[in-house]
């Protein structure tokens, strides 16, 4: 009878451990997201098209970097330049 309890305890432990392992391994591999606060931060995403990002606030014409990067006059009068290209797309 005592051996059955030990066996069931061991089986339960292994089941719990096997369920917890995938969760812990995905947390270990997760990298912190880069915070996007202004147009300069958004523009810097071009340096790492596979990175993780989180937008921290709305970006509009009053946000830092707008005149130089996103206004109608930016980019030689073309406005905001898309991030990534067809050959090197943004995947972050």
Q: Is the pTM of this model over 0.75?
A: no
Q: Is the pLDDT confidence value at 46 over 70?
A: yes
Residue 53 contacts residue 45 (beta carbons within 8 Å):
yes
Average pLDDT across the chain, whole number: 84
pLDDT-derived band at 38, boundaries 50, 70, 90: very high
How far is Cα 55 from Cα 42, in angstroms, rounded to an integer?
9
């Amino acid at each position: 009878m005592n051996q059955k309890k030990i066996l069931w305890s061991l089986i339960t432990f292994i089941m719990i451990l096997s369920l917890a392992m995938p969760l812990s391994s995905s947390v270990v591999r997760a990298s912190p997201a880069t915070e996007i606060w202004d147009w300069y931060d958004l523009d810097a995403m071009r340096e790492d098209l596979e990175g993780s990002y989180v937008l921290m606030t709305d970006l509009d014409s009053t946000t830092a970097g707008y005149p130089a990067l996103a206004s109608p006059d930016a980019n030689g009068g073309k406005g905001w330049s898309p991030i990534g290209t067809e050959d090197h797309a943004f995947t972050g």
